[in-house]
Amino acid sequence: MNNIKESPLFWPAHIKGKTLFVLDETLIPRKIYYVKVRNTKEAMKVIRDMKTRAFGQFLVVLNTFLLELERGKLLTREALVKKMEETAQALNSSRPTFPFSEVTSVVIGWAQKAMTENLDLIPFVTKNIHGYLEGIRFRRLERVRKIAKLIQDGDSILTHCNVSGELAMAAKICGQQKKKVRFFATETRPYLQGTKLTCWELKKMGADVTLVADNAIGSLMADGLVNKVIVGSDRSCANGDFANKIGTYQIAVLAKEFEIPFYVLTQPSNKIACGDDITIEIRDEKELLTFERKAIIKAKVKGFYPGFDVVPHDLITETVAIDAR
């Protein structure tokens, strides 16, 4: 794995000094630019404005605590814990579908442990956050290997909002192993992440990738052009249901109809029982009715844009999981 260059999307946020630099994925492929984040308010804006996607947002959440710990060096221990709890509440509220609370609760638990056991709070929590991040990186690299092993010579793979970096890096491994693999990436409207990000990073890793319209999936499968589907996920349930970018559910239904294996890259969780319990985020209708800040249609019509849909577990062939704990 060490000889594989990581995709910029694999680890799209990092701290340097007292500033968090977050890759602005909305500007790719036009340019590579990192947004500067210095506090919780700016972190919430990056998350809400979708400057980075699911995994990048988790990195923002974890690193925001590091920023606040640095900023809180002059606070009392009690005041610092209160500040961290306020930070957790703010981050948890930034996007309802995302399970940020599963991560923020862990960080707050470390802070409370430091208080209870009279430990030096800032170095204790800081060390644990860095260890947590290192563990996530290791497990993600392991999953890249699993994905590459899952992909066979001659496969033709459809993807829709996959986990940042991982599929592209797995494609690189497959190329090094002389596997001939073809990828179809959906547009992933309305942000066009499939067009701007998925195609870009797969091509950057030397993969054979073709862009297809979101509504071409049925035709693609009926014509036998796809033999596997690999998607990412934003939230998973105890029973195996998961939520992902809107449009994933219909792909899963079609894959079942055409007997095409459907794989999901996910993080196991038992915090919610089933898909019915997932809160689906309804995004601002302007995101659907405008493109690059310009109106798509002059007529006054309403827009309805649920950011995610839920895929029942019985439509999944196999989960390729990573335990971030």
Catalytic residues, by residue number, are 234
What token pair was written down for 198? 């998925």
Sign of CA dihedral 88, 91, 92, 93: positive
- The amino acid present at 8, given as its one-letter code, is P
Helix%, strand%, coil% for the chain, nearest 5: 45, 20, 40
Task: Give the pair of three-digit tokens for residue 122.
Answer: 């800032």
Closest by Cα among 112, 114, 122 to 69: 122
CB 302 within 8 A of CB 286: no
**Residue by residue, what is the 3-state secondary structure of 246-292?**
CCHHHHHHHHHHCCCCEEEEECCCCCCCCHHHCCCCEECCHHHHEEC
